[in-house]
Structure 1
Amino acid sequence: MGKGFFINKTVGIVGIVLAAGAIATIIALSVVYSQEKSKNNENEVKPTGAVTTPVPTTEPSNEPWDQWRLPQTLSPQTYNVTLWPRLQPDATGLYIFRGLSSVVFRCVEKTNLILIHSNKLNMTLQPTLTALGSKPAPIIESIVMHTKTQYMAIHLKDELTAGESYELYTEFVGELADDLGGFYRSEYYENGVKKVVATTQMQATDARKAFPCFDEPAMKAVFHITLYHDPATVALSNDKVNITVDDTFVTRTTFAPTEVMSTYLLAFIVSDFGFIEQNIDKLQIRIFARQEAINAGQGEYALSVTGTILKFFEDYYNVPYPLPKSDQIALPDFNAGAMENWGLITYRETALLYDEEISSNGNKERIVTIIAHELAHQWFGNLVTIRWWNDLWLNEGFASYVEYLGADKAEPTWNIKDLIVLNDVHRVFAIDALASSHPLSSKEEEIQRPEQISEVFDTISYSKGASVLRMLSDFLTETVFTQGLQNAFVYSQPIWYVAINNAVQSVQDIMDRWVLQMGFPVVTINTETGQITQEHFLLDPETKPDRPSEFNYEWFVPISWTKKEAAQPLYWLLQKTNQVDQMKISGDEWVLANINVTGYYRVNYDNENWERLLNVLQTSRQSIPVINRAQIIDDAFNLAKAGIIETTLALRTTLFLASETEYMPWESALDNLDYFYLMFDRTEVYGPMQTYVGNKVEGLFDYFTRLTNWENLPPGHTDQYNQVNALRVACSTGLEACTTLVKTWFEQWMENPNVNPIKANLRSAVYCSAIAAGGEKEWNFAWEMFEKATVASEKDKLRAAMACATEPWLLNRYLKYTLDSNKIRKQDATSTIISIASNVVGQPLAWDFVRANWEYIFKQYGGGSFSFSNLINGITKRFSTEFELQQLIQFRDDNAHIGFGSGTLAIQQSIERTTANIKWVKKNQETVLEWFINPL
């Protein structure tokens, strides 16, 4: 017997919290949806007349310029930055920008050293230092550029005076490269004419590529931005235009000073884009994109939801939107999904542009959720900001949670908030169940170098952060959670405050266990004895976590549960095990825990309760909420993967799908069966497995045939997704009625390329199935349509579908295309390789390709690129043999001198996952084969 505590969620928690006057203050912070840095250009721009500065070749030392963090001796106050990007190449073929910048800073502690970030910039004049107080500025003795730590070190003859302010002035030139980081260029063609855009992506450490700056999130300042540009173009930045001065050859646009903000949130763009706008309560809202896209109405949907979402967040935070305008711009080349620059949010075209005729329901959802994510950051991240990147999860996890709330406000009929379970909770479980996972919050000293910073922009920060905050909101109630959040803006600092009385512990005590240690528990309920236990869930129980935990991998677990449809009071499991007599059952009763998957944990039961749940699924599945039908499947498959329950028990959770028509259970099942395909699609298991899945999906295919005749949209948002699942899986398992449909539609399109008869929602599935069933003719037609497509979402569908080809030579040719940015944009290269690797025919080809070209890929696409971890995980997820494991280890060792950048942790995770796969296949292959032959 041990400690435990029951409490009615609504009455108990709210009553205790509010009666005690406690504030559940959440967290004040921020950071951003994406980031992706490139180290594409190792060659620096060397303009004639540039001041040359020596680069040290000494080994690292304890000197401040060899440290990755700035000393706290100086504090920036204001910047004046003037930039002139050239949108035509110079005589050497380079695109460059010229700039001048002055930063006013205060000396906090006396020092004879100015350290300021500068990366790939060449000073064209000697920097100058001016004193703004009564004492003269010290003389500059020397200037040294430290390329490794990306500092310009200015050594002074005498010390700066503490409390005094100074101004540092620099003139410089940099390359407007196509590396997708810092101040870079994006290219596209319109009516056969090449167009160039000068744009930015500063997060996390690339503002220093645009101008010398104190490039850390806590070193906020006010920025005065001026851009010189061609009169035929428009300049944008974070704030509104203050003044524009034209002459014959150049326009000078000066912007109003920004709010006090971090360098990573800066943005400035020069383009000839078009825009649409509306004004809501004196707030100017604009959507910018290629003129062709604007003329086609592709920005209308984004414009229609932005005002609604902004108003929602004003109410949610209880803080007015702090800027006079909200610009959003779709860029042809952008490595991230979107970036929340204050007042000027940048997006991939697929994340902002929507075409009513061509874009799918999924495209529409992606747009509204990403817009909500980025608008959430305009307060949480931009107004209140994290001090350092080790707490990135607070920024990204929070935005990843509330994006569902904002999207739900814009599209209230979609029931979109439920999808966080599939999109985030189940997704991150797979990573957080590895011994090589990491906590949400790391120590500052663990996150220092730019590539380490890039590495924390991962699924843990986004999806686990969202999942844990959703759990917190649920057990506190959304009202109390929001109240605490609003107080974060009042106090402008991170606070966890006592929110529940001593019987349950404080919010601090509860959340520390979810934030400061990696992983999550599996809660096991024995309904015969009433015993309830928690254990750290690991996919391979024989592994040990890479890091110790001060909490010994125990959590304070909020358990919501029912007993045969009767909701029970919330139960807190506060230790390893406890006796809970209320959870004993008899007769036809059954227990179901973690209702609607609001808790971040998995659930296991005694065999008798599992059997009762399986029976309920078969006989009266509506007794179990839709989300929990998905949960039962996902928990069972992963418990089986870890060897906690039998694999056949997990497979039996799919038997009821023959009569299931809801999206979430089907999607959960397909996600988990995908692992079986990855492990067995090169073995004798594949045939019987295809037969089983085909039999189950036939009923779903027939359901949508009757409901829609494949000509109409189903009524519900998730019903439309399930219609796609029905078609995709029916075709992939060889259902004749499906393959006939797909071939007919694709052939009709090939006969008349100007009229696509395939419904927008179904295109991804149809394109893939038709190309897989076809050959060179179908592939070449898809490539031709890809090159002609003017809607980004359509290009994405075709690009992914071409990876479905089954002829190796076509896939090898396609892999080579990824190294040619004229064929496949750099932003899409890694995702294209991953798509090819997802194809059983393409996987070994992609693996060989990446190994052969790793050095080139690493240098061209940036060691700090967020997509590197996705690339490594994507090309190795099918690995399940000792030979593949040794190849993976060899790949790691052979390329250690090159490095893996933000993919470093992914290499270790892939080795761990492959080792677990080998054990699992060896143990389960024969049993799985027998079960698929005779499913019971």
Structure 2
Amino acid sequence: MAKNLYISKVAAAAFIVLTVSSIAGIVTMIILYKTQISTMNPTPRPTFPSTTMGPPPVMRLPRNLIPESYEIFLHPNQTLLFTGNSTVNFHCVERTRTIYLHSKDLTVSNPVVMNKNTNKKMGVSAVKHHEDPSNFLEIQLNDILEQGNYSLSLAFKGELSEYNEAFLAATNVAPTDARRVFPCFDEPEMKAVFHVTIIHRRDTTALGNAKMHGSNIIDDWKYTRFHPTQRMSTYLFAFMVSEFTSTSSPHDRVEIKTYARPEATAAGHAQYAANITGKILKFYENHFDIEYSQQKLDQIALPDLNPSAMENWGLVTYQEGDLLYEEGMSSLLHKELIANLIAHELAHQWFGNLVTMKWWNDIWLNEGFATYMSYYCKTFVANDLHTAFKEDALASSHPLSPPQEDVQTTSEIMEMFDAITYCKGAIVLRMLADIVEERVFNKGIKLCCNYKCLLQDLWMKSFKNLPKGEDGGHTEVAKVMDTWTKQIGYPVITINTTSGEIYQKHFLFNDSSESRFVLWWYIPIRVMSNTMGPSLVWLETTDTDEFISKNGEWILANVNCTGYYRVNYNQENWDSLLTQLVTNPHRIPLMNRGQLIDDAFNLARAKLLSVTLALNSTRFLRTEHEYLPWESAVRNLEYFILMFDRSEVYGPMQAYLREQVRGLLIYEIIVLPPRHNQIIAIQMACSNGLPECMMMAKEMFAKWMNNDTNNIHPNLRSVIYCQAVAFGGRTEWEFAWNKFQSSSDTSEKEQLRGALSCTKKIWLLSRYLEYTLNPERIRLMDVASTINYIARNVAGQALAWNFIRAHWEYVSQGDPAMLIEGVTSRFSTQYELEELVRFANDYDLGFATRAVQQAIEQTQVNIQWVSENKDIILEWFERETAL
């Protein structure tokens, strides 16, 4: 996304966006649109030590001035500007002659400093903007500020790109862009109370973090005043001005409204979100034993927003497609995702908003906890576990909680919003809950909220000791958790069931990187056998008898995958487990049926066991009907497909997969109503050339084309659309494109946008790539994912790679890290590695810097893996298909 503004049109209406930044990185968002578009105080007031009479700060604000409250007036107007003025009241805890706060891309004027103790104005000698990543606004005074209370008043203005007659203004300032809206102490620890007044068109509605206090009208402008907010961090500041309408949610105390475009509200598309929001909020109130601390909660479905949602206190924003649900059009899977996202954002109203991390290096506790709280099915747990495993197996990973000095600039802060923070954070919290038992864990969370502690104090204040097996031993939570939060990566434990020997090792895909790290973890192991139920032991004190196979029994460690580690065994135990999967898979817990496949494939990638054993782990799937084992197999075989779909291995691989999935397809389509596994069944069967699947997809799509009535079940549309476009030509593609252009349903548009990338026609893929340069065709926020869809297609991968290099300045405005990961996922040759290194040296990568380094490392791993395993894998598939 551009640093200043971008323009996007949807359904013949213009949206002009002044970004106040998003988690992906950008500036204030003001979306202007034309008509008819389809209490608890989290932290006591801090008293920081300071040395600001000495050298000026480098990147972090000094701690001699503590903000107390802001009085803010904001006016987006018709002169291509937004204007405003603010007064910040602060306390001086150590004398200084200079005030430092943040300001970026604002023209600041009329500084007035008042001594609140004497009610006298203090002279300002100079105002300086630091032209460096600090974004400091430095105000030098004639006299020294002694300890006491003061205020700083400033006028300011910023630029809009264009103005239309009606407007929607919505902010998204996380993590470091409140400073683009008004000058402020823009660090999470520097909380304050906000008194806000918005000046807006009289025929629009203004919303803020707090409930409206009152309003008055002068000429054509309405002045809306809000009650004071809770004491909160600047990154949670939000307001919205719009002509949106709302849908109310039931709650016995809090006024809850979900806002959307008037036509979307009228059609009932916000009703599902409204129905569940009050229930989720009530659940959290009971769970934390603390009432939601605001009088109101507004949710907004915005046509253009990146990220998917933001937890602004009392005013939560969502990308429209992630909040609205249309009965009969949206899939049941989409309904699950909406519930999951709302649960995530509402969890933040306590963890993140009420209780906040001290600095961005600990953002994992915000995001990891909200992700953990939003789990309600094993599918989400497994997805996050495997996502974290993948990212954390690279030497270029980072700890959950790196040192503060490693996270200083905006770019470094933005890079923290990744899979490690969200997925690993949630999985590590899940592991802690399993160790101490969920009842104790929940009690600790309540204590943390009642302490009003900073998040990083959680371990020390909320949990005292961890149990360590049945011997009565204990150890401090912080001591155990530090091994999981302050080190990169995770371990693989290796169990020999003959000798009972067990040891741990840092798991890396590229073992040549291992010498850089000497890591060790406290590892909780839930273990079971063929005849014994699960028990908890700790690796450092384990009696080896726990892991000795008796009478030919198998041993299974990490039962239900509650631990964040992989498990390897001796060959005999692997053989016994795989035999059990073939003969009676239900003896092994469902989560572990999927995890055994995932561990086997990833251990093989790391050369810790043979690739043939990993492939053997998929044999039982011919009679497996559950989602998690199939999802694990498909995801891991996807790596094989990426590495070999341009080679002679691919033919025998497709033949094997056709036979494995045949039974699942028949079972899912004939026996059951639409569900998760049907998508996998159709995708695997059709993409591997199973004739009955290909015929079904073509016929279903053709009926829609001929009758203009779409009878394809919403759950199956994404995969049917894709496969039909893949088997079709220009006619099918242009039909899908026209439907994408004309549809007003966000879920339908997303499914069609993905399906358009499935064609095997090179010229159609090239046309689609060119469309991404036109925001009237593909919104800028959708550019990265659209290019990634195309790169996922073997026919489009090289096209996508050439395209992003030719248009990097534009395409990298969205989510450049995701873009790099997707486009380079097939890289497995020396030539592709050299091109990638040249790209890293020649381009301004910005927020994609870490992603490119990870892509280089992954490509090196791929090259080595293919050279070592290609012949073995080809032989295995040829043998299996010959049986």
TM-score normalised to structure 2 length: 0.91
**Counterparts in 2 of 1:588-607, with a 5 A limit?**
588-607=552-571
Partner Cα separation in structure 2 for residue 504 and residue 556 of structure 1: 12
Partner Cα separation in structure 2 for residue 786 and residue 933 of structure 1: 41
Partner Cα separation in structure 1 for residue 309 and residue 178 of structure 2: 17
Deviations 1:42-93 (A, max 9, x none): xxxxxxxxxxxxxxxxxxx99966622111121111111111113x5x4xxx
Aligned to 2:154: 170
Displacement of 1:506 after TM fit? 1.6
Partner Cα separation in structure 2 for residue 571 and residue 34 of structure 1: 43
Partner Cα separation in structure 2 for residue 117 and residue 819 of structure 1: 34
Does the Cα contact within 8 Å between 1:428 and 1:459 map onto a contact in 2? yes
Task: Determine helix, strand or coil for the equivalent of 1:920.
Answer: helix
2:61 to 42, 47, 70: 70
Task: Determine helix, strand or coil for the equivalent of 1:510.
Answer: helix
2:508 to 527, 538, 552: 538
Partner Cα separation in structure 2 for residue 454 and residue 114 of structure 1: 26
| 1:107 partnered with 2:55 | no
Given residue 97 of structure 1, which amino acid in structure 2 is its aligned partner? F
Aligned to 1:736: 691
Partner Cα separation in structure 2 for residue 358 and residue 627 of structure 1: 31
Aligned to 2:830: 882
Partner Cα separation in structure 2 for residue 775 and residue 763 of structure 1: 18
Aligned to 1:554: 520
Which moves more between the two structures, 580-589 or 204-213?
A: 580-589
Given residue 69 of structure 1, which amino acid in structure 2 is its aligned partner? R
Aligned to 1:915: 860
Does the Cα contact within 8 Å between 1:278 and 1:285 map onto a contact in 2? yes
Partner Cα separation in structure 2 for residue 279 and residue 723 of structure 1: 35
Displacement of 1:40 after TM fit? 10
Aligned to 2:842: 894
Does the Cα contact within 8 Å between 1:34 and 1:337 map onto a contact in 2? no
Task: Determine helix, strand or coil for the equivalent of 1:592.
Answer: strand
2:651 to 680, 687, 694: 687
2:751 to 766, 772, 797: 797
Task: Determine helix, strand or coil for the equivalent of 1:280.
Answer: coil
**Cα distance change on mapping 1:851 and 1:819 into 2, 3 Å:** same
**Cα distance change on mapping 1:663 and 1:495 into 2, 3 Å:** closer
Aligned to 1:622: 586
1:470 to 418, 425, 430: 430
2:735 to 781, 786, 790: 781
Partner Cα separation in structure 1 for residue 74 and residue 27 of structure 2: 22
| 1:929 partnered with 2:874 | yes
Given residue 506 of structure 1, which amino acid in structure 2 is its aligned partner? E
Partner Cα separation in structure 1 for residue 592 and residue 372 of structure 2: 20
**Counterparts in 2 of 1:196-215, with a 5 A limit?**
196-215=167-186
**Cα distance change on mapping 1:269 and 1:176 into 2, 3 Å:** farther
Does the Cα contact within 8 Å between 1:555 and 1:574 map onto a contact in 2? no
RCO comparison, higher one (Cα < 8 Å, 6+): 1
Deviations 1:404-460 (A, max 9, x none): 1xxx4xxxxxxx1x1233211111101101111111001111000001000000000
| 1:277 partnered with 2:237 | no
2:681 to 700, 704, 726: 726
Given residue 285 of structure 1, which amino acid in structure 2 is its aligned partner? I
Displacement of 1:525 after TM fit? 0.9
Does the Cα contact within 8 Å between 1:386 and 1:392 map onto a contact in 2? yes
Aligned to 1:656: 620
Q: Percent identity?
A: 46
Which moves more between the two structures, 808-817 or 252-261?
A: 808-817
Task: Determine helix, strand or coil for the equivalent of 1:544.
Answer: helix
Does the Cα contact within 8 Å between 1:425 and 1:463 map onto a contact in 2? yes
**Cα distance change on mapping 1:510 and 1:34 into 2, 3 Å:** farther
Does the Cα contact within 8 Å between 1:561 and 1:592 map onto a contact in 2? yes
Displacement of 1:355 after TM fit? 1.0
**Cα distance change on mapping 1:147 and 1:635 into 2, 3 Å:** same
Q: Over the residues paired in the alignment, what is the CA RMSD in angstroms?
A: 2.0
Deviations 1:141-178 (A, max 9, x none): 1111123221221111221112x222211112112359
Partner Cα separation in structure 1 for residue 638 and residue 531 of structure 2: 31
Displacement of 1:579 after TM fit? 5.4
Does the Cα contact within 8 Å between 2:784 and 2:811 map onto a contact in 1? no
Partner Cα separation in structure 2 for residue 137 and residue 246 of structure 1: 32
Query: Which structure 2 residue ranges, 5 or more long, are not aligned?
Result: 1-20, 30-51
**Cα distance change on mapping 1:904 and 1:66 into 2, 3 Å:** farther
**Counterparts in 2 of 1:155-166, with a 5 A limit?**
155-162=140-147, 164-166=148-150
Given residue 924 of structure 1, which amino acid in structure 2 is its aligned partner? N
**Cα distance change on mapping 1:34 and 1:97 into 2, 3 Å:** closer
Aligned to 2:23: 35
Deviations 1:498-535 (A, max 9, x none): 32368242211111100111111111111111111111
Aligned to 2:135: 150
Aligned to 2:370: 399
Does the Cα contact within 8 Å between 1:679 and 1:880 map onto a contact in 2? yes
Aligned to 1:436: 396
Deviations 1:710-768 (A, max 9, x none): xxx24xxxxx0101111111111111111111111211222233x21211000100111
Does the Cα contact within 8 Å between 2:112 and 2:121 map onto a contact in 1? no
1:808 to 755, 762, 771: 762
**Cα distance change on mapping 1:557 and 1:341 into 2, 3 Å:** same
**Counterparts in 2 of 1:221-240, with a 5 A limit?**
221-240=192-211
Task: Determine helix, strand or coil for the equivalent of 1:739.
Answer: helix
Task: Determine helix, strand or coil for the equivalent of 2:198.
Answer: strand
**Cα distance change on mapping 1:122 and 1:771 into 2, 3 Å:** same
| 1:257 partnered with 2:228 | yes
TM-score normalised to structure 1 length: 0.86
**Counterparts in 2 of 1:559-708, with a 5 A limit?**
559-574=525-540, 580-708=544-672
Query: After TM superposition, which residue ranges in structure 1, 4 or more long, deviate above 4 angstroms?
Result: 61-66
Partner Cα separation in structure 2 for residue 253 and residue 530 of structure 1: 71
Given residue 352 of structure 1, which amino acid in structure 2 is its aligned partner? L
Deviations 1:802-823 (A, max 9, x none): 1112122221222222222221
**Cα distance change on mapping 1:574 and 1:250 into 2, 3 Å:** same
**Counterparts in 2 of 1:414-453, with a 5 A limit?**
416=377, 418-453=378-413
Deviations 1:756-797 (A, max 9, x none): 121100010011111111222222221111111111111111
Displacement of 1:697 after TM fit? 0.7
| 1:507 partnered with 2:477 | yes
Partner Cα separation in structure 1 for residue 768 and residue 54 of structure 2: 48
Aligned to 1:855: 809
| 1:767 partnered with 2:733 | no
Partner Cα separation in structure 2 for residue 129 and residue 848 of structure 1: 55
Partner Cα separation in structure 2 for residue 921 and residue 651 of structure 1: 15
Does the Cα contact within 8 Å between 1:513 and 1:556 map onto a contact in 2? yes
Deviations 1:674-725 (A, max 9, x none): 00000000000011111111111111011123214xxxx24xxxxx010111
Query: Which structure 1 residue ranges, 5 or more long, are not aligned?
Result: 1-32, 42-60, 179-184, 188-193, 409-415, 715-719
Does the Cα contact within 8 Å between 1:276 and 1:287 map onto a contact in 2? yes
Aligned to 2:76: 85
Does the Cα contact within 8 Å between 1:314 and 1:320 map onto a contact in 2? yes
**Alignment: residue pair count:** 828
1:457 to 382, 393, 417: 417
Deviations 1:589-618 (A, max 9, x none): 111111110000001111001111111111
Given residue 442 of structure 1, which amino acid in structure 2 is its aligned partner? P
